[in-house]
Each structure stands twice: as C-alpha cells, then as structure tokens.
Structure 1
C-alpha cells in the first residue's frame, strides 16, 4: 500500500517536472521574440524566469531520482525512467544556455530575418512540446505514446528544412553582411535547431520504452 502511494506521489512529481519543462519552452519562445524586437526589459524578465525554471527543474529531477531509489519504486523500468529524466533535463539546459547566449553574444539579426527565426523557434520548440504528452502517456496511457511521438519526428524534419533555408539565405542572398556576421547567424540557427535534435533523441528513447511496456 505504501509503495503504491509513493509511486502515485512520484508520478505526480514527474508531471510537475514535465509542466516545468513546458513553461521553460514558453519562456524561451518569448525570449527569442523579445530579443528580435528589441524588447529589452521583457527579454531580461525572460532571462530571470529561465534561470529560476532551470533551478526548479534540476531540483525536481534530483528529488524524483532520490525517491525512485529510496522507496525502491518502478524497479523494472527505473533505468529507462532515469534516462528519460536526464535527457529532458538536458533539454532544459539547452533552452537556458541558448537563451543566455543571445544576452552574452548579442548577435546582429537583420530585421528581414525576424520572421524566419521566429518560425524556426516555433517549429523547433514544437518538437520539444511533442515530447511532453508522449512522456506523460508512458506513465498513464502507454497505448497513446506512438501517435504522440510521431509529431516529434515531423517537427524535427521541418526544423531541419527551415534551418537550411535560413543558412542558405544568409550565405547566398545577404551580400551586405560581413562573413563574421554570417557565421554568427549560422551559429545561432544551429543553437535553435539543436532543440529539435535533442527532442528526436528523447523520442527514440520513448519508442524503445513503449516497446518494452508491451512485453
């Protein structure tokens, strides 16, 4: 009885961890948009929120991991759950690191690229957003995992296309930019694209976890 109670409480904590990641994604999207449109005050608020969310997600993950070991919960799938939590925490780290890179390096992004970067950010974060319901389904409705994972792969591919389009535009069409500025734009395009690649790896892990649940 106590193990069941502890397991349910831990799953609730995992849900809170997932919700924190969702909030982190929203802050990242807002932060990129505020940077592009020179909304300095709002961008600084985004940075502060991101720092708090990164700390919260890290504390939640450590607490969940401790409970899994202390109460001997989910013994048969514990290794997979721990890997899932670690990879999700890595996504939070990428979101935080990439947003702070805008503040540190202050990349020059021409106005005509604003819509491209916003669309790239939206699509890349959609791949990460697709991970959350798929991961939640693992603990509650595993039969629904496959359909939810499919969305992650779709948006990862779309992100690759958009990133290539931006890099091609920068290097083939924007002759007034310095080469160093072009490299910087490519660098930040890769930063945002990195999110979808991380999401794809988590989707791969969830796919394996889904198969194991059926045996």
Structure 2
C-alpha cells in the first residue's frame, strides 16, 4: 500500500485494517436488517454482537494511529487530515451499531408490506458506506480516484433519501397505531442517515484531496 502521505508501514497496516472492518460492518448491518425483517432473531443478535465487536476494534485502531502520529514526525497538517478522516469514518460505525442496538432494545413490529422498501433503503444506505471505504483508500493510495468514489457515495446517499421518503410515506399510509408509525419512522430515518454520515465524511474528504493536490 503506497500511501500518498508520508507514514510508516505500521500506520498503513492499521488504516487498511480499519477500513476492512468498516466495509465488513456495512455488509453485516445489511444482513442484520434482513434477519430482523425475516424474524431470525438469534441470527440478528449474533450480527449485532459482531457490529459491537467491530466498533470496539475500530476505536482501538483509531486510537493506536492517533497516538503513533502524535508521537512521530508526520507534519501537523497531514496528521490532522488523517485523524479527521478516521474519526469521521468511526462515527459511521457508531451510527450503524447504535441503530442495530435500538432494534434489539425496542423490537419494533414492522408490517411485512414494508419489507421490500425497508431492505432497499438499507441496501442503498450501506452501499454509500462501501463506496466511502473505497474513497478513503484512494485518498491514501491514488488521489486521482477519490472523486470517482465520492461521486458514488453521493449517488447512493440520494438513492437512500428517495427510498427513505417512500418508506416513510408508506408507513404513514398504513392503518396502524400512530405510536407505531412514529416508532417506525424513527428507525427508517436512522437507517437512511447512515448514508448521510458517509456523505459528510466525503464532503471533508473532497477538501482534503484538493489540499493534497495543490
């Protein structure tokens, strides 16, 4: 891995592992939502535990990189960009974990008529995270490719927004209790927001990329 920034093999390996875990977690999240919709409760809980473990691993990796960069000679401007990217990407992980945890705690009753749109929204939102991982990898490997992946993140974020709106409209068209509608809306929004978090990272990543190219 030939990093654009001047770092060591230790940092390269830590960042690679960090991004692998984030990518895996996006897939796990998608499968977990499908498990929940299909009432595979034990499998859902297993995936939640995996996300929890991954979130802890990501935190540990981020902290290890932060400590190393502060102790070594990477110039402050570059160091700040690297740390911000890792911290912002870590927030995406936190949001995925927290959303699944709330499913486990509240156990919302999702009418089966919503399953298709629910899974479509989840797929689009997590696809944004997968493209974010590619964008971040490119930032360290090949700056010329970053904007290609950022564009894809924006595409999936818009797709998640559109599908999420359809999902919320369908929720409120159902003949169910208003309290359940409100609860389901909360979960729909939080799934949709995964792509918003990915887009927010890319907004900053785009700026860092321009800085590196000057």
Same fold per TM (> 0.5)? yes
Task: State the distance in 2 between where 1:24 and 1:161 align.
Answer: 23
Q: Secondary structure at the match of 1:138?
A: helix
| Displacement over 4 Å in runs of 4+ | none
Task: State the distance in 1 between where 2:16 and 2:187 align.
Answer: 31
Listed as ranges, the matches of 1:48-197 within 5 Å are 48-171=49-172, 173-174=173-174, 176-197=175-196
1:99-142 C-alpha deviation (Å, 9 max, x unpaired)? 11100011110001111111100000111111101101111111
Task: State the distance in 1 between where 2:208 and 2:31 align.
Answer: 32
Task: State the distance in 2 between where 1:40 and 1:168 align.
Answer: 27
User: TM-score with structure 2 length normalisation?
Assistant: 0.94
User: TM-score with structure 1 length normalisation?
Assistant: 0.94
Deviation at residue 84 of structure 1 after TM alignment: 0.8
Q: Secondary structure at the match of 2:77?
A: coil
CA contact (8 A) 1:7 1:73 kept: no
- In structure 1, runs of 5+ residues without a counterpart are none
- Residue-pair matches, total: 210
Q: Secondary structure at the match of 2:101?
A: helix
Aligned-residue RMSD, C-alpha: 1.4
CA contact (8 A) 2:150 2:202 kept: yes
- In structure 2, runs of 5+ residues without a counterpart are none
Task: State the distance in 1 between where 2:114 and 2:100 align.
Answer: 18
